[in-house]
Structure 1
Amino acid sequence: MTDTSYYSRLGGLPAQTELLSSKAVFTTAYAVIPRSVMTDIVTSVLPHWEKTRAWIISRPLTGFSETFAQYVMEVDAGGGSSSPEPDLRAQAGLFVTEGEMVVEVGGAQHALRKGSFAYLPAGSAWKLHNTSSSPASFHWIRKTFQAVEGLEPPPAIFTHESEQEMVAMPDTDGKWATTRFIDPADVRYDMHVNIVTFEPGGTIPFMETHVMEHGLYVLEGKAVYRLNKDWVEVEAGDFMWLRAFCPQACYAGGPSRFRYLLYKDVNRHVALW
């Protein structure tokens, strides 16, 4: 696999001499949170976490995206939590973008490094600690698990991007491909976390419109994304947050490949109110 980097250089503050102009936008159909606004002054400190700060880049909002929350976590050496998740209903998807850490669940310890993915079922009494001498960064996706009568709960997953096949979309000559951390045919899971890769010139050549909500964090490269009626330039470190049925497409113009971490809700009936 090509040498991989995942954008994780958040924080700092802009100079007082910089312009206010930004591509940050929040609409009724989508939001764009560029890396330039993920500064030191918008971080959160969470209960029962030590030497840790978080950028909360999505949360359920009535009338917008309602299924998930996504954090970018930065854990200093020696930091972490023995009680990270306060909600027993919440499952977790973790993706490491920098450094090393240890996740403990069910009495077993799992070493994670840059490129590692972990799925932790709802109700797991998991722990996470940075036992290295350097800071570590990871994405933490939280979603209330939707149990289904007759389906057993999904098991935990621990894997690495290098262990997963990159599956090319049909008729794209490999320019649009997806790395899937959760088996799309396994309906025990009600969320997917993937890495989507476009080589220069790769494109989504139609306006996707679907019931799944999305969180898209750009890991590498740059592209032009079509969101509803707008074209938006995005680059590594930017986050896009799409509500259900928001039309979407993209064009990766290069010069390097364009990659993002993708969340979507799947495999469940629509709730009727």
Structure 2
Amino acid sequence: MTKKLNNLSPDEYKVIVNKATEPPFTGKFNNFFEEGTYICKQCGLPLYESNSKFDAGCGWPSFDDEIPGAIRRQLDADGRRTEILCAYCGAHLGHVFEGEKLTKKNVRHCVNSISMDFIPKEKTLPRQRAIFAAGCFWGVEYMFKKVEGVIDVVSGYTGGHLKDPTYEQVCSGKTGHAESVLVVYDPSIIDYEALVRYFFEIHDFTQEDGQGPDIGEQYRSEIFYTNEEQRNIAEKVKNELINRNLNVVTKITRAKDFYRAEEYHQDYYKKTGKSPYCHFRRTIFKNDYIKIIV
């Protein structure tokens, strides 16, 4: 289960949970074009940037791109349309259509206004996401959950080509996916740069296609950025390590779809009472950049 930020009104519940559709031309974001970020009404995570919004004349807010890793697609109950949901909490957003040639990207996310909130450009988002791969996700999840300001950590798969992969398929090394974690955090408490520095401290970033005894590309070291700001920060910290003559094999890649792993992988060490076998914190940076909850 994912952690949710907001309680829903009866009307919001009808759309977000029961998958109703608000009447056309009635939503508050239909003719709304301020600069900022559209976030999920239910969990508060970013969904769309304002520069991807356009006027499709359909009566609902329309976007021709999503924030990487923010949206999940699935076949609608009618078997004809493709439903779009918040990838983290599963909130119903609307539907996606392709081939209409309304923009150069030739895609339209048709979203209910009631499924979203809007954060102006100059304000801090209530929640953000970061995606990291650093070996077996059991240990990476365990380590990130100790950080103050981290709200939730989800183990999953990303970076590959197979849709909805299973653990066995990822372990085959043929999907291109890495065992990864989705870190949901409060930017008012901890920033992305601190998370990136911590990421480098909790695994061996010099080991290629493996971590400790776990060998294979599914255990690679990789940072998946969701926007250019995250990319620049990740490159900055990586270059700091390279300039210290450290061999950094970590890849920095634009995020793709993130697939939640099977439930028995979530909170693995808490469920089993075991301890991580190849993840621990190594002191590389100054210790005061982050607070660990014991």
TM over 0.5: no
Normalization by structure 1: what TM-score? 0.29
Name the one with the larger helix percent: 2
Name the one with the larger strand percent: 1
Normalization by structure 2: what TM-score? 0.27
